[in-house]
Copies of this chain bind each other. A is one copy, B any other.
Amino acid sequence: MSSPTPIAFWFDFASPYAYIANEWIDALAARHGRTVQRHAMLLGVIFPHADLKPLVNYPIKGEYARRDILRTARFERLPFAFPEAFPVSTHQAARVFWWLADTQGQEAAAAWVRTATRAYFTRGENISEPGVLRALAAEAGLDGAAAEAAWSEPRWKDRLRQANDAALQAGVFGAPFFVIDGEAFWGNDRKPQMDRWLAEGAF
């Protein structure tokens, strides 16, 4: 018997709702005998294709979103503090992710996601700054020089470009975005639907 396909999880390191989802997705998958395949991408690349912009840039809705993000983190009983610099560019953190995913595997890459998103969303560390990334790489036990090379080498720039293209192919227009056996679920708030889908199959 083949093992069930992993849950695909598309995210941007600067998405607060993706940070929240990143904290529950592995447990949800494990409850249903699944694993998680993470895909780092850049919402800044995706949004124009979908005629969208960062949530907090919308009038009225943006104000609501700031409040809803804080409340949703409390609802999930997760630590959260809005970073002063928000949103920030995340291509460097994302390239480190793909370097780890492709050379050391999903588990190492997932650990990096946790390290970087927790630093950003609980301690406000600006993950677009090289000095911060270097310190976080050390905190994550990575080879600092290799991590730094990963965020500037053409190979990993290309890898991230491929991931953005794949995201568009997969119909991604925001984060967190999940695909379970071909079915797409967008948003932290689709957890209950994903849970039933995994338990009972398509409904």
A186 to B49, CA, bound (A): 25
A60 to B51, CA, bound (A): 9
Interface check A146, CB cutoff 8 A: no
Question: A193 to B60, Cβ gap below 8 A?
Answer: no
Interface check A63, CB cutoff 8 A: yes
Copies per complex of this chain: 2
Interface check A187, CB cutoff 8 A: yes
Interface check A24, CB cutoff 8 A: no
Query: How far does the Cβ of A198 sit from chain B's closest Cβ, in whole Å?
Result: 13
Task: Write out, one digit per residue, whether chain A residues 68-85 have a CB within 8 A of any chain B CB (1) or not (0).
Answer: 100110110000000000
Question: A189 to B189, Cβ gap below 8 A?
Answer: yes
Query: How far does the Cβ of A191 sit from chain B's closest Cβ, in whole Å?
Result: 9
Question: A64 to B189, Cβ gap below 8 A?
Answer: no
- Of all A-B residue pairs in the complex, the 3 with the closest CB atoms, nearest first, are A189-B189, A60-B173, A50-B60
22 pairs across A/B with beta carbons < 8 Å? A49-B59, A50-B60, A50-B61, A51-B58, A51-B59, A52-B61, A58-B173, A60-B171, A60-B172, A61-B174, A64-B171, A64-B173, A64-B184, A67-B184, A71-B203, A72-B193, A75-B193, A75-B196, A75-B203, A189-B189, A189-B190, A192-B192
